[in-house]
Amino acid sequence: MAGSLENASAQDVARAADEYTAAGDWWGLAGARRRQADLARAGGDLGHAEEYLRAALSLYVMLDDGYCAGRALTSLAEIRLAAGDYPAAAELSRQAAERMPGDTMALTGLAYAEWQAGSPADAEVTFSQALHWDADDAAALAGRGQVRADLGSSSLALDDLDRALKYPLDRESEADARSARALALAGLGRSAEAQAELAESVRLDPRRPRTRLRADRIAALAGDRREPGDMRL
């Protein structure tokens, strides 16, 4: 029944949630809460999205559905990551991975949270675990490639990023992958290619913070005397 809510409006889902509650249909109610969370998140209301997801999570735990509970935890982790609460995102992703062993999405979410929390070496290991289960996962390849570029493992980073960029990525993810690829190229002494790739990253998203940080590192590797933060090429 919950599947019928996929394209339902907020009012329709709220009405359905009331009907599920009155009928004691906890599976239906859990699905309704997930749909409400999706709608709130799409509208930029992360607070209510988290509230609905936690309600859905409680129902899935009560119903002993480990997979759906893991998916709810993954979504909660994404919200905490977007809010900049990296330790909480890492913990939620870790719980999701425990409930869904070998799940690439959960492991990739955990790796990104570890990276943002300041543990790139741990993130590289977790990205590798995700890629063990799906060697062609674009998000995991892009993430591990970026971590490796930032850590100075230029050749390994380039291999990952070249593979990741063969797949469709959203604009921000592609900008980050290309700035990391530029850094890896600079680390290998391929300055002209690095500048061209950096220019493409800037074109995709001129205000991307990682692009600016990597531009400074590329400038340092090239012995450029320009001011930090200046991405003029």
Which structural domains are found in the chain, ordered by start? 136-233 (1.25.40.10)
Residue segments in the chain with a per-residue pLDDT below the cut of 50: 1-3, 225-229, 231-233
Q: What pLDDT is recorded for position 224?
A: 54
How wide is the angle at C-alpha 80 spanned by C-alphas 76 and 82, nearest 5°? Answer: 115
Tell me how crowded residue 9 is: count the other CB atoms within 10 A of its CB. 11
